[in-house]
Amino acid sequence: MPDFDLFVIGGGSGGVRCARIAASHGARVGIAEERHWGGTCVNVGCVPKKLMVQAAEYGAWARDAIGFGWSCMDGTHDWNALITAKNHEIARLNGVYVQLLKGSGVTLFEASATFLDAHRLQVGSDTITAERIVIATGGAPIWPDIPGAEFGIVSDHAFFLPALPRRVVMIGGGYIGVEFAGIFRGLGAEVDLLYRQKLPLRGFDEELREGVAEALTAQGVRLHPSVLLDRLEDMSGIRRLHLSDGRQFDAETVFFALGRAPNVAGLGLAHAQIDITPNGAVVVDEHYATSQPHIFAIGDVSNRLNLTPVAIAEGHTLADRLFAAPHPRNWSFAPVPTAVFSVPPLATCGLTEAQATANGPVEIYEARFTPMRHVMSGRGRKTFIKLIVDQASQRVVGAHMLGDDAPEMMQAIGVAMTAGATKQDFDRTIGIHPTSAEEWVTLRTCTRVVGQKEK
């Protein structure tokens, strides 16, 4: 008899949810985590990042208050106080994850796990067997293959810097680069953002990308599009960057924000004959099964839709299916609302304009405006919202927003889109006045129709 009915490799959000739900169904479950409970999101990702974004916004809010009659002066930011408070909150969340697992009857191993064969694992000093195994090891930051890469940092390091750098160069225009550019700039650093595309945030709606570039510039971030970093030198503690266009400049900190790759190093997947893609992602089918039908992979390690709530949903779904839940939850993975915690934040749900037009004609509804708060504050911050409507069915197939509270609004928009809401459903909904949110239900005039098929 195997030691466990289910063994989970990885104590991040997806792995923990899978373990807990399986245990609640009566399975004998073990879980291994070699670094920190809660995984990337809780420790070096979503949670501490958003705390730091909020910290970065307070200075601007203090200046905004002048427009409302308050006498405010620019203060100084205490980086160590922020990091200490952040660490305290993360430690609390680590403890919550551990207690949830123990309370569910899951056996915890604070160690790495490596496949010995398709049913046996080396977990620290123990050899264990399991009837079913779940790989939930997430992703890891990508380092560039350039001379001097060792003189830079990645996101894992940014949460533990001993002091706020005076000048930071962000390499990469994805969500990590954009978010940390806003964080460091908001806390007072000089920030340059380098990326190889013409606009940041490849894969997002084009008008959102344009808006983000404008917002970063308005915040004081210097943008360097269509450029690559060729090499990095250490000049007695100062980093000298050599760019693909021949330019050179110096910075205190160079932050590589080049995305993340599936975290499969050291798992011994070949010993279990588990197939992976050329970029290291574990290959799975629609039921999260790998090339070994009793071994599964969920979350970022399969590199499909790399979002914490998606990993949680996959873990929950898998546990229900494997251990015969009486009423399994039916999750919707299309559309999936998501956000980038830039300054200001953006949020999106469903298709971009380019994706939607590939399916046929769509109607575009847009609004650009200055929110009431910034009419008073005088801060040059605009809000942009966009609805994409399939012309034939009138279903809303895409929603995009850049501006204050965008992520909070998009969660509700996601509910409506998951339920199949049409433009007419939005039109007949009463708005809450005065709010920016009411703009979603007062978009009366179609801006344009695109994707018309040629006759």
- The enclosing domain of 434 has a CATH number of 3.30.390.30
Neighbours of 220 (CB within 10 A): 12
In a domain, 333, yes or no: no
pLDDT at 455 (0 to 100): 39
In a domain, 372, yes or no: yes
In a domain, 332, yes or no: no
Q: What is the CA radius of gyration of the chain?
A: 24
Q: Determine if residue 47 is left, alpha or beta; phi over 0 gives left, psi from -120 to 50 gives alpha, anything else beta.
A: alpha
In a domain, 328, yes or no: no
**Can you read off the two tokens belonging to residue 209?**
């990308």
pLDDT at 453 (0 to 100): 60
In a domain, 393, yes or no: yes
The catalytic residues are 433
354 and 406 inside one domain = yes
Domain that holds residue 266: 4-141+261-322
- Name residues whose C-beta falls within 8 Å of residue 331's C-beta, 6 or more positions apart in sequence: 313, 316, 317
Contact 442, 366 (CB under 8 A): no
In a domain, 330, yes or no: no
**Can you read off the two tokens belonging to residue 211?**
């808006």
198 and 53 inside one domain = no
- Cα angle 310-44-126, degrees, rounded to a multiple of 5: 80
Number of domains in the chain: 3
C-alpha to C-alpha distance for 248 and 148, rounded to whole angstroms = 14
- DSSP class of residue 454? P
Contact 135, 282 (CB under 8 A): yes
16 and 108 inside one domain = yes
User: What is the layout of strands, in order, in the sheet containing 238-243?
Assistant: 229-235, 238-243, 248-251
pLDDT at 451 (0 to 100): 87
68 and 109 inside one domain = yes
Helix (H) or strand (E) holding 60: helix 46-64
In the listed set 322, 350, 369, which residue is the last one of a domain according to the structure? 322
C-alpha to C-alpha distance for 212 and 346, rounded to whole angstroms = 8
115 and 12 inside one domain = yes
In a domain, 454, yes or no: no
The CATH number assigned to the domain holding 224 equals 3.50.50.60
**Can you read off the two tokens belonging to residue 393?**
């069915």
395 and 444 inside one domain = yes
Contact 406, 339 (CB under 8 A): yes
- Name residues whose C-beta falls within 8 Å of residue 382's C-beta, 6 or more positions apart in sequence: 211, 214, 215, 368, 369, 370, 402, 403
Can you give the pLDDT of all 455 residues of the chain as single tens digits? 899 999 999 999 999 999 999 999 999 999 999 999 999 999 999 999 999 999 999 999 999 999 999 998 878 999 999 999 999 999 999 999 999 999 999 999 999 999 999 999 999 999 999 999 999 999 999 999 999 999 999 999 999 999 999 999 999 999 999 999 999 999 999 999 999 999 999 999 999 999 999 999 999 999 999 999 999 999 999 999 999 999 999 999 999 999 999 999 999 999 999 999 999 999 999 999 999 999 999 999 999 999 999 999 999 999 999 998 777 778 888 899 999 999 999 999 999 999 999 999 999 999 999 999 999 998 888 999 999 999 999 999 999 999 999 999 999 999 999 999 999 999 999 999 999 999 999 999 999 999 866 43
309 and 397 inside one domain = no
Q: Determine if residue 261 is left, alpha or beta; phi over 0 gives left, psi from -120 to 50 gives alpha, anything else beta.
A: beta
268 and 132 inside one domain = yes
In a domain, 410, yes or no: yes
225 and 169 inside one domain = yes
Helix (H) or strand (E) holding 96: helix 79-103
245 and 186 inside one domain = yes
In the listed set 203, 235, 258, which residue is the last one of a domain according to the structure? 258
17 and 36 inside one domain = yes
89 and 114 inside one domain = yes
Q: What are the φ/ψ torsions at residue 367 (nearest 5 degrees)?
A: -150, 135
